[in-house]
Amino acid sequence: MMRSSNPALSNKVFQRVTSGEGSMSIEGTVNKTGILLALVILSAGLTWNSTASGGLSSLVIWGGVGGFITALITIFKQTASPITAPIYAVFQGLFLGGLSALFERQYPGIVTQAVGLTFGVAFCLLGAYKSGMIKVTENFRMGVAAATGGLFLFYMVTFILGLFGMQFTSIFGSSLLGIGFSLFVVGIAALNIVMDFDFIERTAEQGAPKYMEWYGAFGLMVTLIWLYMEILRLLSKLRGRD
C-alpha cells in the first residue's frame, strides 16, 4: 500500500482515479511541474511589484482564498486537474508574490535566499532519493505522515487559541525555541518532498491515467510552496536576531 502525508497525494486519492487515454509518466509529470512553477513565478510578479511599491494588494488575499478553494476542488476531482492545477498555480503565485515582497521589504535579499534554499533542498533530496541514500519504507511513510498530521493539528489549535488572545510568541518568534521549531518544520516539509517523489514514481509505474501527471505536479507544488514559506519564516527569524 502506498502512503503519503501530502493530502493531495494520499492513498485514497489515487484509489479514486479512473482509466483514461494514455498513462502517467515521470517525464510528463516533471514537464507539468515546470509549467506550474512558471505560472507561479509569472503571477507572483504582479503582486510583488504592487506590494513592493505600495501597500498589500487585494490580489494577495484573492490569491490565498482562490488557491485554497482550487486546491480543494483539485483534490476531490482529480480529472479536472489539467484545468484546476494551472489555476491553482496562478492563485498561489499572486499570494506568494505579495507575501514575499513584505518579507523582502523588511529583510532585503531574504527572498533570493529562500528560493535558492528551497530548490537546493529539493534537488539534493531528489538526488538522495534516486541514488538510494534515502529509502522510503512503510515505517518512513508512517512517521512522516504522523509528524505532518501533528503539525497540522498544532497549527489549528494555535490559530483557534489566537482568536481568544492566546499567543505563542516563544514558538513563532525569533527566540532559540522559535528557530528550533522552524528548523523542525522545514525538516518535515523536506521529508514530504521525498514522499512525493516516491509516490509519483510508484503511481506512474502502476499506469495511472495521463491526467494524473497534472495532479502529481499539483501535489508536488503544494509541498514545494509549503517548504518555501517555512524557509522564508526561518530566515526571517534568524535575521530578526541580528
| pLDDT tens-place string over residues 49-93 | 877 666 667 889 999 999 999 999 999 999 999 999 999 999 999
- Per-residue confidence (pLDDT) for residue 169, from 0 to 100: 76
pLDDT over threshold 80, residue 8: no
- Output the pTM of the full model: 0.86
3-state secondary structure the chain: CCCCCCHHHCHHHHHCCCCCCCECCHHHHHHHHHHHHHHHHHHHHHHHHHHHHCCCCHHHHHHHHHHHHHHHHHHHCHHHHHHHHHHHHHHHHHHHHHHHHHHHHHCCCHHHHHHHHHHHHHHHHHHHHHHCCCCCCHHHHHHHHHHHHHHHHHHHHHHHHHHCCCCCHHHHCCCHHHHHHHHHHHHHHHHHHHHHHHHHHHHHHCCCECCHHHHHHHHHHHHHHHHHHHHHHHHHHHHHCC
pLDDT over threshold 60, residue 3: no
Write out pLDDT tens, residues 174-184. 888 989 999 99
- Per-residue confidence (pLDDT) for residue 54, from 0 to 100: 67
- The ranges assigned to domains in the chain are 20-240
